[in-house]
């Protein structure tokens, strides 16, 4: 274990695990620790993290707590939503998209404070260790990275609690037993994994859900809302303009009461194993459907279909931690270019766990009722033109048929 690290920036939540890591860095590395706590809308009071850090000997000038909610939604969630990104066709990437911002801020603080290392609390089995560290190295190639879960011998809950007691780290009563499952949360989503969720055959217990009501208990009457878009980004709900974070929080509440956004998924982790997780993404689920709704009438077929082809690769890059890669930036440029005319209003129906687009309009609409109508179209479309179109497209099939095989 290297001992040449003098100052380290720790991604610090104030919880038991990162508090243990903080003390472990002090004792094992004899390093000056700087804590960084990001407010990404996880719904927790963050001042206790400051007090906990001070209790563990961190100087006030070495404690950083930043409200990143607006930056998170504006610069990370919204660009991802323009791509309609879903990992493996289902997952809205709530945890994945938060990691590059945390990594970016850690590196900024490390440069500002003259730190020679950064540290995260991700385990050696998960995706987050990859996401954090790819972000670190992309932004500061020579940074030293400490990953305690890959180094220490505190490999059981009992050992962690013993270390905490030996070092006078406060342990909440609910932390003394084995955690029933692990939780990660931010303004976009809440994810739960492990323990009671590890058997993919067993249904997720109701007590695991924290962000949404049971769809069966949602209101019996549907909720109708409108979302306004400008160049691919949502800017207003029901005609009321909102900042990105405020808008997502508002959609979260609408999704919560209507039981929208639950996902039970067995996914393929980047490190190679399959894992089962339960995700709640109420506002993001509504936003995705609304964005696809406005794209239906504003995007040309070729652009829309190409976007759908690029989306899985884009989503996989985010999931695997390559937010700061040139290929993600290239894809982002193409996606953003496609959004120039994606402006207008979408009307949605929220009802017992479902969200459906029921109306859309745009000054940039490519939809023409004059052309598509089943009634008299006043010469807007000559149906006889279709015969030549079909014959040209059938030519190769006819040649293959004459040969006797496809």
Q: Which amino acids are annotated catalytic?
A: 17, 99, 128, 182
Q: Which residues contact 90 (CB under 8 A, 6 or more apart)?
A: 263, 265
**CA 204 → CA 217, 265, 341, distances in Å?**
17, 11, 41
Torsion of CA 93, 94, 100, 103, to 10 degrees: -140
**Exposure on the CB side of residue 163, measured as CA atoms within 13 A:** 22
- Asked if residues 276 and 200 have their Cβ atoms less than 8 Å apart, the reply is yes
Q: Which token pair is 142?
A: 């020579």
Residues in the chain: 406
- Among residues 254, 209, 266, the alpha carbon closest in space to that of 227 is found at 254
Provide the b/e sequence for 22-36 (b: ≥16 CB within 10 Å): bbbbbeebebbbbbb
Which residue bears the tokens 């508002």? Answer: 250
39 three-state secondary structure: strand
């Amino acid at each position: 274990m290297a001992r040449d690290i003098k100052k380290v920036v720790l991604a610090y939540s104030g919880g038991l695990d990162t508090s243990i890591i903080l003390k472990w860095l002090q004792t094992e590395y004899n390093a000056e620790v700087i804590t960084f706590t990001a407010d990404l809308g996880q719904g927790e009071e963050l001042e206790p993290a400051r007090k906990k850090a001070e209790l563990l000997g961190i100087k006030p000038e070495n404690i950083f707590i930043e409200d990143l909610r607006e930056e998170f939604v504006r610069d990370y969630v919204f660009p991802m939503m323009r791509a309609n990104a879903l990992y493996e066709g289902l997952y809205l990437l709530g945890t994945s998209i938060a990691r590059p911002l945390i990594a970016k801020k850690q590196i900024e603080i490390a440069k500002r404070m003259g730190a020679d290392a950064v540290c995260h609390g991700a385990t050696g089995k998960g995706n987050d260790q990859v996401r954090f560290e790819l972000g670190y190295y992309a932004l500061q190639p020579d940074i030293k990275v400490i990953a305690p879960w890959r180094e220490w011998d505190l490999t059981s809950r009992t050992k962690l609690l013993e270390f905490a007691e030996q070092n006078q780290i406060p342990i909440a009563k609910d932390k003394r037993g084995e955690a029933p499952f692990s939780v990660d949360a931010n303004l976009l989503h809440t994810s739960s994994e492990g323990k009671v969720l590890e058997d993919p055959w067993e249904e997720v217990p109701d007590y695991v859900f924290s962000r949404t009501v049971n769809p069966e208990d949602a209101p019996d009457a549907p909720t109708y809302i409108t979302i306004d878009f400008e160049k691919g980004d949502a800017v207003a709900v029901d005609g009321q303009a909102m900042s990105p974070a405020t808008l997502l929080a508002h959609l979260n509440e609408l999704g919560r009461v209507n039981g929208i956004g639950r996902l039970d998924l067995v996914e393929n982790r980047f490190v190679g194993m399959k894992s089962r997780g339960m995700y709640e993404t109420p506002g993001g689920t509504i936003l995705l459907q609304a964005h696809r709704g406005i794209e239906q009438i504003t995007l040309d077929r070729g652009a829309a279909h190409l976007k759908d082809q690029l989306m899985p690769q884009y989503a996989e890059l985010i999931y695997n931690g390559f937010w700061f890669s040139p290929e993600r930036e290239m894809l982002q440029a193409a996606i953003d270019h496609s959004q120039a005319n994606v402006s207008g209003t979408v009307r949605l129906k929220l009802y017992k766990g479902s969200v459906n687009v029921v109306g859309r309009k745009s000054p940039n609409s490519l939809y023409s009722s004059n052309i598509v109508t089943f009634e008299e179209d006043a010469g807007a479309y000559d149906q006889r033109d279709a015969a030549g179109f079909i014959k040209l497209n059938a030519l190769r099939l006819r040649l293959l048929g004459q040969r006797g095989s496809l």
